[in-house]
Amino acid sequence: NMLPNLTEFSLTSDSLTNHYDDQIQPLLRRMPNLKDLTLRLFMKRERFIDGIHLDKQVLIHMPKLSSFKFHILCNNFHF
């Protein structure tokens, strides 16, 4: 389900999460009318999140985005 009425969204994760690919990224893709996005994420992921990934996998789905603030920390260590 799309979330077309959302124009601002902020997500903060102070705890380590490994749900970026299966929950966070799909959620962000459902917000096509976002104008302001803030992400503060601490995640376990084998591949780092870089600008190319953000542009091609997330931001391309948000054509109205005018402000994007982020702090993304990826750890690829094994528990």
| 12-62: pLDDT as tens digits | 998 999 999 999 999 999 999 999 999 999 998 888 899 999 999 999 999
| Cβ-proximal residues to 63 (8 Å cutoff; 6+ apart), any chain | 32
As beta bridge partners, residue 72 has 41
Q: Could you tell me the pTM of the whole model?
A: 0.88
Element (H, E) at 10: strand 8-12
pLDDT of 78: 59
> Whose CA is closest to 25, among 68, 64, 65, 54?
54
Say how far apart CA 13 and CA 72 lie, in whole Å. Answer: 10
The pLDDT of residue 79 is above 80: no
pLDDT of 77: 65
For 7, phi then psi, to 5°, come to -115, -15
pLDDT of 51: 92
